[in-house]
Amino acid sequence: MASSNKFSRRSFIRTGSLGIGALALGPALSAFALSPLKAKKKLGIALVGLGSYSSGQLGPALQHTKDCYLAGIVTGTPSKAVDWAKKYNIPKKNIYNYQNFHEIANNPDIDIVYIVLPVFMHKEYTIKAAQAGKHVICEKPMALNAKDCDEMISACKKADRLLSIGYRLHFEPHNMEIMRLGQQKVMGEVKHIDTGNGFTYNGDPNAWRLKKALAGGGGLMDMGIYSIQGSRYTLGQEPVAVKATQQKLRPDFFKEVDETVFWELEFPGGLRTTGKSSYNNDWSYLKVEADMGNFGLGPAYGYGSIEGSVNGAPMKYPQIVQQAAQMDDFAQCVQLNKPSRVPGEEGLKDMKVVDAIYKSLDSGKWEKIG
């Protein structure tokens, strides 16, 4: 799921007292408060796809989890299977490939399957995992388009399995505080939001992420999801329309996919926010203007070193292992049979926006979302 470039999505790391709002922490605190009522067993997670996000982030994060553990792996590369088995002490019976993946249905060690594959494979393996009786976490972007998201959600509901999307920032203290400030109008009405996310891609020109059929798109699909999310979760609202433009300074490199995209989202009531994504600019910020001042993040969306401020004063929240918090929360949801705060429907909402942005790029006009 990543190139070797140090600024790739999967290795994209931007470099006091926890006074975060009660509302933002509410769901997490509720889950922890109920934890003594849960079964004592840690839930087993199998990672499907052992690219750089699994190797650099999820595998290490699972060494910090309290409610789940790395129980198995699925890979098409035998050498990776050997290396992971040795590094994480994974028994041979919990190692699968894409030909025998269906046999995971018979493995009681594995409760949750985490799909960490190229985007075009997300739908297929989410559905297969649910049909195998496993709960599912699927990496973002959820699928190639909103229609595929619908099919994934339906399949998981039919199998009575929980589905969550890998939106780690919903468990990150700085981003959670942004949600509280914006949604609860702590500083009054939000007047404007501007957000951007991107990196300069200099990786393999033949990588799957540069193939439209495999990735669905370029910087918008990969990095733009974060910018879209930033506006959505700051307001706690869904946009109703979008107008987008794009820039391509390296057309020979980005032959099939978008390079840099700019957009304006319109929300109910008429508020308009601006956002952008890129494979050719290093961006990571969220800026919010409200009646009584401003607040924001920068860097905003990386795996670590997130920083925030309110009216110029720095937020004093800890840096956490975001993926560990994300996976523990989902394990608690499974144990307690409660919905994830980032269910499949959350991924569907983002993909409706992405679909409309691509439509706007083609038409040059405002397009309705959904």
Q: Is 316 a catalytic residue?
A: no
Digit-by-digit pLDDT tens for the chain (370 residues) are: 333 333 333 333 233 333 333 333 433 333 333 334 345 589 999 999 999 999 999 999 999 999 999 999 999 999 999 999 999 999 999 999 999 999 999 999 999 999 999 999 999 999 999 999 999 999 999 999 999 999 999 999 999 999 999 999 999 999 999 999 999 999 999 999 999 999 999 999 999 999 999 999 999 999 999 999 999 999 999 999 999 999 999 999 999 999 999 999 999 999 999 999 999 999 999 999 999 999 999 999 999 899 999 999 999 999 999 999 999 999 999 999 999 999 999 999 999 999 999 999 999 999 999 9
Q: According to the model, what pLDDT value does residue 31 have? A: 36
pTM: predicted TM-score of the whole model, two decimal places: 0.90
Q: According to the model, what pLDDT value does residue 304 have? A: 86
Q: Could you tell me the sign of the dihedral formed by the alpha carbons of 110, 114, 119, 124, in that order? A: positive
Contacting residues for 308 by C-beta, under 8 A, at least 6 apart: 174, 177, 178, 295, 296, 297, 298, 300, 314, 315, 317
CATH number belonging to domain 173-319+344-368: 3.30.360.10
CA dist., res. 57 & res. 272, Å (int): 35
Q: Which of 114, 125, 167, 226 is catalytic?
A: 226
Pick the CATH number of 16-168 from 3.40.50.720, 3.30.450.20, 3.90.1150.10, 3.30.420.340: 3.40.50.720
Domain boundaries, the chain: 16-168, 173-319+344-368
Q: Is 92 a catalytic residue?
A: no
Contacting residues for 265 by C-beta, under 8 A, at least 6 apart: 228, 231, 239, 241, 242, 272, 273, 274, 275, 353
Contacting residues for 33 by C-beta, under 8 A, at least 6 apart: none
Q: According to the model, what pLDDT value does residue 10 have? A: 34
CA dist., res. 240 & res. 193, Å (int): 16
**Residue appearing with tokens 């919010």:** 288
For residue 305, report the phi and psi dihedrals to the nearest 5 degrees.
Answer: 55, 40
Q: Which of 123, 128, 140, 352 is catalytic?
A: 140
Q: Exposed, middle or buried, 39 (CB in 10 Å: 0-12/13-18/19+)?
A: exposed
Is residue 296 within 8 Å of residue 308, measured between CB atoms? yes
CA dist., res. 303 & res. 10, Å (int): 9
